[in-house]
């Protein structure tokens, strides 16, 4: 009984704080303490400054051998491609409107790793979790963007621009922060105390602010619309994708923190960036928003359950 309670306590220590901050964001938005302007500015601050700085400090002060787990990244890329192809087939069969198929596919495979995923990993493993997840986040994010443009472009019958895609990748602040940190990590040069301390301030700011903005941006009034496709994408995101990553990870030999990162990054809700991309490409923005809202709430429960199972079997 005590073992079960310990597993339960660990599970909710990972997901519980995320739920609290998200719920606080919803409540503060409802009472008017947070505004749309604050959410927009805060989200931009996190994406362009705080999160890249956090990742730069995390990787830069870690030895390259510890930060660069290319086996984990390679497996994540293969698993992402696998889930993408399966979801493409499912959407072609089960989503009636061709224009909505790309929205469902993106909602199913694209994880919110930069905010919720990192928060999960930090809560579960502390600094070691942040280091293990940082390079994985950067490289898989590139793949997410490429696949999202492909599926949305096909569904909307628009030709994706290679130049625009490449520009979006090379100007992505998260990717820039990671790329700049890798030579520092490789060389073993110690970062100045001023840089480390400043980065720690960003570390303390980044995830709470990002989660507050995520909670404040949720819109539950739209959930009555597009319910069938919302459910399909949400089940794919919260059940199918984590199963592929975890079962595949176990099969190839990942254990401990590596398997934990695979679970925690894949079981996150759909990335908020998916809504922005759908809207920019003229897709069904209401459906995209619904998927984000449902998976954000559902992820707390499914991730907690998955952690309990893996901890119970001694795999995480």
The yes-or-no verdict on residue 275 having pLDDT over 70 is yes
What mean pLDDT comes out for the span 260-282?
A: 87
Q: What is the pLDDT of residue 242?
A: 98
Residue 57 token pair: 């400090």
Cβ atoms of 244 and 82 closer than 8 Å: yes
Q: What is the DSSP string of 223-254?
A: GGSSHHHHHHHHHIIIIIHHHHHHHHHHHHT-
Residue 261, number of CB atoms within 10 A of its CB: 29
Largest CA distance in the chain: 58
Rounded to whole angstroms, the Cα distance separating 294 from 306 reads 18
Domain boundaries, the chain: 2-214+222-312
Residue 139: what pLDDT? 86
Given a cut of 60, is residue 1 above it in pLDDT?
no
Beta strands in 72-206 (DSSP E): none
Look at 247 and 7; give whichever has higher pLDDT. 247
Residue 246 gets the label, from left (phi > 0), alpha (psi -120 to 50) or beta, of alpha
Whole-number pLDDT of residue 94: 94
Would you state the pLDDT for residue 160? 59
**Predicted confidence (pLDDT) at residue 273 exceeds the cutoff of 90:** no
Q: Using 50, 70 and 90 to split pLDDT, how confident is the model at 309? A: very high
Write out pLDDT tens, residues 147-196: 988 898 877 666 656 777 777 778 888 888 888 888 888 888 888 888 88
Indicate the pLDDT class of residue 75, thresholds 50, 70 and 90. very high
- Top-level CATH class of 2-214+222-312? mainly alpha
Residue 10's pLDDT is what?
80
| pLDDT higher than threshold 80 for residue 66 | no
pLDDT at res. 159: 60
Helix pair angle (70-94, 227-235), 10° resolution? 150
Whether 58 shows a pLDDT value over 60: the answer reads yes
Decide if 182 contacts 55 (C-beta within 8 A): no
List the one residue out of 82, 89, 140, 92 whose CA is nearest residue 114: 140
The more confidently predicted of residues 283 and 108 is 108
What percent of the chain is modeled with pLDDT above 90? 40
What number of CA atoms fall less than 13 Å from residue 275's CA on the CB side? Answer: 18
pLDDT of 117 reads: 93
Whether residue 241 contacts residue 268, with contact meaning beta carbons closer than 8 Å, is answered with no
Give the per-residue pLDDT at 225. Answer: 65
Contact between residue 103 and residue 291 where contact means Cβ atoms under 8 Å apart? yes
Residues in the chain: 316
Q: Whole-prediction pTM value?
A: 0.85
Q: pLDDT for 138-161, tens place per residue? A: 889 889 988 988 898 877 666 656
- In angstroms, the first-to-last Cα distance of the chain is 19
Q: Which is more confident, 244 or 145?
A: 244
Most confident of the following: 66-70, 227-231, 273-277, 280-284:
227-231
CA angle 267, 40, 219 (to 5 degrees): 55
- Identify whether the C-beta of residue 95 lies closer than 8 Å to the C-beta of residue 101: yes
Question: Residue 304: which of 233, 238, 247, 253 has the closest Cα?
Answer: 238
Q: What is the mean pLDDT of the chain?
A: 87
Mean pLDDT of the 120-142 span: 89
Per-residue pLDDT at 39: 86
Q: How far apart are CA 156 and CA 278, in angstroms?
A: 10
């Amino acid at each position: 009984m005590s073992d079960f309670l310990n597993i339960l306590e660990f599970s909710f220590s990972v997901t519980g704080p995320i739920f609290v901050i998200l719920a606080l964001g919803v409540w503060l938005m409802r009472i008017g303490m947070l505004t749309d302007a604050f959410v927009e500015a805060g989200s931009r601050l996190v994406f362009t400054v705080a999160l890249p700085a956090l990742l730069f400090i995390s990787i830069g002060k870690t030895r390259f051998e510890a930060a660069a787990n290319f086996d984990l990244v390679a497996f994540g890329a293969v698993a992402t491609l696998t889930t993408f192809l399966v979801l493409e087939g499912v959407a072609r069969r089960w989503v009636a409107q061709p224009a909505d198929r790309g929205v469902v596919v993106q909602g199913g495979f694209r994880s919110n790793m930069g905010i919720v995923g990192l928060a999960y990993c930090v809560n579960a493993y502390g600094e070691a979790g942040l280091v293990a997840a940082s390079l994985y986040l950067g490289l898989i994010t590139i793949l997410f963007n490429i696949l999202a443009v492909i599926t949305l472009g096909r569904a909307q019958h628009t030709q994706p621009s290679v130049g625009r895609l490449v520009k979006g990748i090379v100007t992505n602040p998260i990717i820039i922060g990671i790329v700049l940190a890798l030579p520092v990590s490789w060389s073993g040069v110690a970062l100045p105390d001023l840089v480390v301390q400043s980065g720690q301030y960003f570390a303390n700011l980044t995830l709470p602010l990002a989660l507050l903005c995520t909670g404040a941006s949720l819109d539950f009034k739209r959930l009555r619309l597009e319910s069938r496709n919302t459910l399909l994408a949400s089940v794919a995101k919260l059940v199918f994708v984590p199963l592929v990553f975890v079962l595949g990870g176990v099969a190839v030999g990942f254990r401990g923190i590596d398997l934990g990162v695979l679970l925690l990054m894949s079981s996150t809700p759909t990335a908020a960036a998916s809504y922005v991309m759908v809207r920019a490409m003229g897709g069904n923005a209401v459906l995209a928003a619904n998927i984000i809202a449902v998976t954000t709430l559902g992820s707390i429960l499914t991730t907690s359950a998955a952690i309990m199972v893996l901890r119970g079997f001694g795999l995480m």
